[in-house]
Amino acid sequence: MASKRPRPRSGNELMVERIGNYRGLTIFLLGLSGLINVLALTGAFYMLQIYDRALTSGSVPTLVAISVLAIGLYLFQGLFDVLRSQILVRFGARMDARLAPLAHEVVIEMPRYGYSTAEALERGRDVDTVRSFVASSAPIALFDLPWMPLFLIFVFSLHPLLGLLTSIGAVVLIALTVLTEMLTRRVSGEMHKAAAIRANLADSHARNSDILKAMGFGNRAIARFSDANAKHLTLQTRASDISGSLSGLSKVLRMMLQSGLLGLGAYLVIKGEFSAGSIIACSVASARALSPIDQVIGNWKGIVAARRSFRRLEETLAAMDDETKMIALPAPCRSVKVEAVTVVAPASGAVLVSDVSFSIAAGQVVGLIGPSGGGKTSLAKGLVGIWPLLRGHVRLDDADLTQWRKDALGAHVGYLPQDVSLLDGTIAENIARFDPDAEARDIVAAAKAAGVHEMIVRLPDGYQTALGPNGTALSAGQRQRIGLARALYGDPFLVVLDEPNSNLDAEGDAALTEALTSVKARSGIAVVIAHRPSALAAVDLIGVVQAGKLVGFGPKDEVLREPGRPIAFPSGGAVRPAAAAASAVASASMI
């Protein structure tokens, strides 16, 4: 009998797993709110007893006794109210503590799938939105709302006409709440999209501030941002107008209802069907009955934002890979196999690399060459798992990359991208990939392997030099060499270097060749995207990538000497095989 596949868990189930079973807490808070609302009837009963008993009897002891009892009940109500508020604040903090790391993981993952940095950062803001909502007055109004019938029953007990009028007012206010939801839902969605566009522009302009300043089109960038901001403000104003107008209308209706109840109560007193104390009690109880509806309408923007953020977090949890049950694999040591790999651009879906296959054995270095835009960098991102593959497999010792836990795979991979960006921290922390248990000797060994140890120790603070955001305290060449040390840290089995000598001088080229030679010596595998022919000095195999296809692959000498094949380097254009071979040999001899 075939076994059933496990049902994928929903976002709500995963949310419960992450932050705990909040259903039980919700029931407890609902019960606590019921107790608070029962105690809230103290004011109405107090007015009844004062006007109908203490004043008519003229008894001071009765007045004192009623007042003492009312004060005690008010204190209990305040105590329970503070307790409820504190529980909500702490629950919001617990949600933040457990969801914020997840949101930050999504911030790191989303750009791999074509999302902008601003869109990725929205997940972090979603956590802030949910936490702020939980700690606000809006949940208190929602917990009080189900207990509204309690006050309606009390008003009905005073007189059916007063209960009917209060019920009509409650129905009208609830209808306003539903109308608010209907009118603001579409505008709220459009406003969120406009805010995302505005954030994307701001992020893009901040990252390209040097270009905007140097070439003098900062004013045009500001104009683009102003247009996006104006659209966002228009939608925000429209949403605020709707919610604000309906909130103001609800307040007016509440005041009219309060006056109507007082007027009807006075009429009933004149007719002898009602007491003066009942008028005040009815006014207090009806105000308390309708207050949660008014608060919900007033907080509707926050409720909608929190609901949208919570749903996005649930969707995020459902989309995240569950690595908890993955088997720990042994460290790779034999081969890297690329099987019919197809890579697409995450943002556009355009095919950048199509049906590429090759195999590399331990102790080999592969150079990828070809014209700019041919797909070399896209292939490199597919090799290390940055961009998900549309089809095909990348295997370390026959295990597909998807079979590895992210942290375990990272220990076996070293990667140097074209645009080297170091994190805000010290040089040592960056080389060690911010491993808190990193050994000093391993950090120094990686720096020496990259030929950057001497440069680091000549800095005033050496390995403790603070780099600042993006490593701006160093030159492009220094950043590239420290990035190389980071890629070599821990002697990873697979090292992928994308144009590693684009900012290097002759000394840096020599250090790169030595680093690749050391990877070979320890039976590792290196893949180098060649920017200049000198990067080929230490390679064994060469792959030629053109128009997203692997058009040639084999031993270096055979590929470079293949008749009629033009070999292209991004910095020097296309050259004939003999010239390419001579250039590579000349570069190697100079090193």
Contacts of 514 (CB under 8 A, 6+ apart): 449, 451
Confidence at residue 322, expressed as pLDDT on a 0 to 100 scale: 62
- In total, how many domains does the chain have? 3
Q: Are 399 and 436 in a shared domain? A: no
CB 329 within 8 A of CB 20: no
CATH number at residue 426: 3.40.50.300
Q: Quote the domain boundaries for residue 188.
A: 11-319
Cα–Cα distance for residue pair 133/536, rounded to 1 Å: 58
> Would residue 62 count as lying in a domain?
yes
Residue 94 lies in a domain: yes
How far out from the chain centre does Cα 299 lie?
25
Residue 131 shares a structural domain with residue 231: yes
* Contact of 318 with 10, CB cutoff 8 Å: yes
The predicted pLDDT at position 2 comes to 41
Give dist(CA 344, CA 379) in Å, integer.
10
Nearest to 396 by CA among 405, 409, 386: 409
Domain membership flag for residue 327: no
> Which pLDDT score is estimated for 549?
92
Q: Are 92 and 193 members of one domain?
A: yes
Token pair belonging to 465: 């030099």
| CATH code (residue 16) | 1.20.1560.10
- Could you tell me if 395 and 255 lie in one domain? no
Per-residue pLDDT at 9? 53
The residue among 289, 319, 349 that closes a domain is 319
Residues 487, 498, single domain; the answer is no
Residues 147 and 259 in one domain: yes
- 148 and 135 belong to one structural domain: yes
Around 224, how many Cα atoms within 13 Å sit in the side-chain half-sphere? 14
Residue 352 lies inside a defined structural domain of this protein: no
Q: Do 476 and 544 have their domain in common?
A: no
What is the Cα–Cα distance from 309 to 39, expressed in whole angstroms?
34
Among 319, 345, 377, residue at a domain's last position: 319
Question: 333 lies in a domain?
Answer: no
48 and 169 part of one domain: yes
β-bridge mates for residue 525, sequence order: 494
Domain end position, chosen among 285, 319, 353: 319
Question: Is residue 1 assigned to a domain?
Answer: no
B/e letters for 20-30, b = 16+ CB within 10 Å, e = fewer, are eeeeeeeeebe
Query: Which residues of the chain fall below pLDDT 70?
Result: 1-21, 114, 116, 118, 318-324, 470-472, 531-532, 534, 562-591
At residue 589, the pLDDT reads 31
pLDDT on residue 73: 92
Predicted confidence at residue 329, as pLDDT, reads 87
* Phi, psi (degrees; rounded to nearest 5) at 159: -165, 135
Backbone dihedral region of 405: left (phi > 0), alpha (psi from -120 to 50 degrees) or beta? Answer: beta
Residues 298 and 192 in one domain: yes
350 in any annotated domain: no
* Co-location of 71 and 97 in the same domain: yes
Write the pLDDT tens digit of every residue in 436-488.
Answer: 888 999 999 999 998 899 999 999 899 999 887 766 678 888 888 899 999 99
Residue 351 lies in a domain: no
Q: Say if residue 547 is in the same domain as residue 472.
A: no
